[in-house]
Amino acid sequence: MNGILKIISGIIIAGVLYGGIIINEINFYPDTWVEIYNSTPHETVLDGFNLITPTGTYRLDGVSIKPNSYVLLSTSPLFPENDFVINFEISNSGGFLILIKGNTVYDFVNWGILKSEWKNAYPYLWVNPPLANMNLSRYPDAQDTDSPEDFRATSTPTPLSPNAPMGLDPVSWSRIKALFRDAHKRM
């Protein structure tokens, strides 16, 4: 969105303008957790923020994130120093997460098949395919472009640390292709 607010049905999508606080990774099994990242240079307290899922809305009052750091919202204590336990449910077969404060959406992600019984779903934001025994990781780590391509399905969770690279980066891939292209010319 390049710093421009988009207003959809009375909801403001914060995007890059507010930025700083984003959903960075989602793990479904065996432990359910959501990793939030703070890219700002100061500690941020999430008082007034809510995490909205298909099954409910969860207040994040008291959750604090140090500068350029991660925090986990989990269903059971995994990392006591950086872990806040909230009783939420998500499924890898389909769901969504919305990080919101008032009417300002700071971040959102969806996956799987949209279900009509989800009262908090925004159908016009639905784009991701179903997952099978995978978690969702933002890639590149902590980079938010407000695009469905921000997240990748992975089999390696990285709680409270940068998400692992997936596959070859474009520069490396270009070099490999050039090697084969140049080898073909010499034949």
| Topology, domain 6-186 | Immunoglobulin-like (2.60.40)
Q: Report the DSSP beta bridge partners of residue 65.
A: 44
Q: Give burial (CB, 10 Å; 0-12/13-18/19+) of 117.
A: exposed
Smallest CA-to-CA distance from 102 within 23, 24, 47, 146 is with 47
The gap between the terminal CA atoms of the chain, to the nearest Å, is: 47
Tens of pLDDT, residue by residue over 12-43, are: 444 434 568 999 999 887 788 999 999 999 99
**Domain ranges (residues) in the chain:** 6-186
List strand residue ranges (DSSP E) for 66-134, in order.
69-74, 83-85, 94-101, 104-112
- Show pLDDT as tens, one digit a residue, over the chain (187 residues): 333 333 333 444 444 345 689 999 998 877 889 999 999 999 999 999 999 998 889 999 999 999 999 999 988 888 776 788 888 888 877 888 999 999 888 988 888 777 777 666 666 555 555 566 678 888 888 888 777 678 887 878 888 888 877 655 555 556 666 777 665 565 5
Tens of pLDDT, residue by residue over 35-66, are: 999 999 999 999 999 999 988 899 999 999 99
Close Cβ partners of 66 (under 8 Å, ≥ 6 residues apart):
38, 43
Q: What is the DSSP string of 9-38?
A: TTEEE-HHHH-SEEEEEEE-SSS-EEEEEE
> What's the CA gap between 8 and 76, in Å, rounded?
35
Mean pLDDT of the chain: 76
Instruction: Report, in angstroms and rounded to the nearest whole number, the Rg of the chain calculated over CA atoms.
Output: 18
> What's the CA gap between 127 and 66, in Å, rounded?
31
